[in-house]
């Protein structure tokens, strides 16, 4: 069955582990990158449904990587959620300028990450969607 893919670009190993674990448990396929450069490369190769992009990354930061991806027709429509420790309005504005579609401020509860991913791309698989529909119908 077709599973939705999330590309997680994050240099912090603990964060990678936590977010990958919860997303995988919910049924998403997760591809991991550790630098902005690797993130851009994998985004083009894997065509994920959504990208979780840490802002502070080695080699190429998350905003520069976002700008690159938004400028490429292959990935310009892919939603990108910035993950950042910076909560100021100016930081949010810079992320929006770079093309980020969402913004989560660290420390981020794993449940918040799931919520945001599901809100933007829907359930991990069509099966989950059917099951959710059934649950709602009672
Ligand atoms: Mn980082």
Distance from the alpha carbon of residue 58 to the mean position of ligand 1, in angstroms: 8
pTM score: 0.91
Expressed in angstroms and rounded, the spacing between residue 54 Cα and the centre of ligand 1 is: 6
- pLDDT value at position 138? 62
Q: pLDDT: is 130 or 111 the higher one?
A: 111
pLDDT of residue 51: 98
User: In the chain, pLDDT over 90 holds for what percent of residues?
Assistant: 82
pLDDT number for residue 137: 74
**What is the whole-number distance in angstroms between the Cα of residue 130 and the centre of ligand 1?**
36
Mean pLDDT of all residues in the chain?
A: 93
Write the pLDDT tens digit of every residue in 34-87. Answer: 999 999 999 999 999 999 999 999 989 999 999 999 999 999 999 999 999 888
Q: Is the pLDDT of residue 5 over 90?
A: yes
Interval between CA 119 and ligand 1 midpoint (Å)? 24
- For ligand 1, the distance from its centroid to the CA atom of residue 138, given in whole angstroms, is 42
Distance 78 CA to ligand 1 centre (A): 21
Q: Is the pLDDT of residue 97 over 90?
A: yes
Give long-range contacts, CB 8 A cutoff, 24+ apart: 33-36.
33/7, 33/8, 33/9, 34/9, 34/10, 34/58, 35/9, 35/11, 35/59, 35/60, 36/9, 36/60, 36/61, 36/62, 36/64, 36/65
CA of 79 to the centre of ligand 1 (A): 19
The whole-number pLDDT of residue 15 equals 95
CA of 70 to the centre of ligand 1 (A): 20
pLDDT at 129: 67
Q: Is the pLDDT of residue 126 over 90?
A: no
């Amino acid at each position: 069955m077709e599973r939705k893919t999330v590309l997680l670009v994050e240099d912090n190993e603990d964060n990678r582990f936590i977010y990958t674990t919860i997303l995988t448990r919910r049924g998403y396929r997760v591809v991991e990158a550790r630098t902005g450069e690797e993130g851009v490369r994998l985004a083009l190769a894997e065509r994920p449904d959504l990208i979780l992009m840490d802002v502070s990354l080695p080699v190429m930061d998350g905003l520069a990587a976002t700008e690159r991806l938004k400028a490429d027709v292959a990935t310009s429509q892919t939603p990108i959620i910035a993950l950042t420790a910076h909560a100021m309005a100016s930081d949010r504005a810079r992320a929006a300028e770079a093309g980020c579609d969402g913004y989560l401020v660290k420390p981020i509860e794993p449940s918040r990450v799931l919520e945001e991913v599901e809100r933007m791309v829907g359930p991990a698989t069509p099966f989950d969607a059917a099951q959710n529909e059934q649950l709602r119908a009672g």
